[in-house]
């Protein structure tokens, strides 16, 4: 089943390279991007059960890191990738250490992450470094050396590479000792602690890794659209997107975020294309998503287990 799924995903992922349709490439780009940032959320929220409502904080850190490095100091955006990765990880470690050291878990931790995202949004909205609410415009300098591509398929290829890397990390978590400790924490923190799992250390490491990966998504966004502002960077919509992708696809699974992203954008695209009634498409979109989440509590990736028990 897994090889077949991997082959199917690979065929779908590579199809845009053989197409001359810019529309198809754009949809594929958005889908792969959602899958990537969803995989970032999945590392901590799926495998570790560390539900976050404010994961946009890491996305925003990455987006502003590459934008500021370019516009303020003329640093090449390719160097912004590792810088964003490190800063995203440090912010994740900081939020994690403060939260878990204080014993926060469950809904309390989720609300704290939302609060952190709002704090970062307010700060970026009033700082000269980030140009406040005006945001930062990145200068158009087309060329692979500047991480700006005239052909959207090149940007799509970069996102696919990042997604492959994030998915490989998720696969590693499935079979690693660290992943086993993380799942133990998700299932029962008290039992995990009794078995010798360091709760603060394990959860903080997971959030740091998750934050580092998600920050790379911010870099890709900035380099694709050449603009970032506080609402885009730290808005709750971005956090909800990551959460939905994982919940629909299957939390704590390797393929869940990819399947969730495909379903999310497929439903959205069909709703926009085939329904002309104003306001009805978003409503139908929401109803379908709720139906999927209610009918498949384990996500699309959990269908195999349910069919096996049927």
Phi, psi for 148 (deg, rounded to 5): -135, 125
Q: How confident is the model at residue 201 (pLDDT cuts 50, 70, 90)?
A: very high
pLDDT tens-place string over residues 3-52:
766 777 777 788 788 777 888 999 999 999 999 999 999 999 999 999 99
Q: How far apart are CA 310 and CA 307, in angstroms?
A: 5
Q: What percent of the chain has pLDDT over 90?
A: 75
Q: Give the 3-state secondary structure percentages of the chain, helix then strand then coil, rounded to 5.
A: 80, 0, 20
pLDDT tens-place string over residues 145-178:
999 999 999 999 999 999 999 999 999 999 999 9
Q: What's the pLDDT score for residue 204? A: 98
Based on its alpha-carbon atoms, the radius of gyration of the chain, rounded to whole angstroms, reads 19
> 255, 5 in Cβ contact below 8 A?
yes
Q: What's the pLDDT score for residue 19? A: 77
pLDDT tens-place string over residues 119-139:
999 999 998 999 999 999 999
Q: How confident is the model at residue 268 (pLDDT cuts 50, 70, 90)?
A: confident
Q: How far apart are CA 208 and CA 43, in angstroms?
A: 10
Integer CA distances (angstroms), 303 to 6, 83, 92, 148, 248, in order = 16, 39, 32, 39, 11
pTM of the model: 0.93
Read off the pLDDT of each residue in 238-253 and give the average, rounded to a whole number.
Answer: 94
> What does DSSP assign to residue 18?
G
């Amino acid at each position: 089943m897994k090889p077949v799924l991997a082959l199917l995903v690979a065929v779908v992922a590579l199809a845009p390279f053989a197409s001359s349709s810019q529309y198809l490439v754009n949809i594929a780009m958005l889908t792969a991007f959602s899958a990537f940032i969803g995989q970032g959320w999945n590392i901590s929220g799926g495998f570790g059960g560390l539900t976050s409502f404010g994961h946009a904080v890491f996305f925003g850190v990455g987006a502003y890191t590459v934008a500021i490095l370019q516009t303020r100091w003329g640093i090449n955006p390719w160097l912004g990738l590792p810088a964003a990765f490190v800063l995203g990880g440090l912010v994740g470690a900081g939020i994690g250490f403060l939260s878990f050291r204080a014993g926060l878990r469950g809904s309390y931790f989720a609300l704290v992450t939302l609060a952190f995202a709002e704090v970062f949004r307010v700060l970026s909205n009033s700082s000269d470094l980030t140009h406040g609410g005006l945001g930062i415009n990145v200068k158009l300098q087309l060329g692979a050396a500047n991480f700006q591509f005239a052909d959207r398929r090149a940007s799509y290829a970069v996102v696919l590479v990042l997604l492959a890397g994030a998915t490989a990390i998720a696969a590693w978590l499935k079979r690693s000792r660290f992943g086993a400790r993380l799942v133990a924490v998700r299932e029962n923190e008290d039992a995990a602690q009794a078995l010798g799992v360091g709760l603060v250390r394990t959860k903080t490491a997971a959030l740091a890794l998750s934050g580092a990966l998600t920050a790379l998504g911010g870099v890709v966004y900035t380099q694709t659209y050449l603009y970032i502002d506080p609402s885009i960077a730290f808005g709750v919509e971005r956090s909800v997107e990551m959460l939905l992708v994982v919940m629909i696809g299957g939390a704590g699974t390797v393929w869940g975020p990819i399947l969730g992203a495909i379903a999310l954008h497929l439903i959205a695209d069909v709703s926009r294309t085939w329904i002309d009634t104003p306001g009805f498409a978003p409503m139908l979109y929401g109803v379908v998503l709720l139906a999927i989440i209610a009918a498949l509590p384990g996500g699309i990736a959990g269908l195999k287990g349910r069919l096996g028990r049927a």
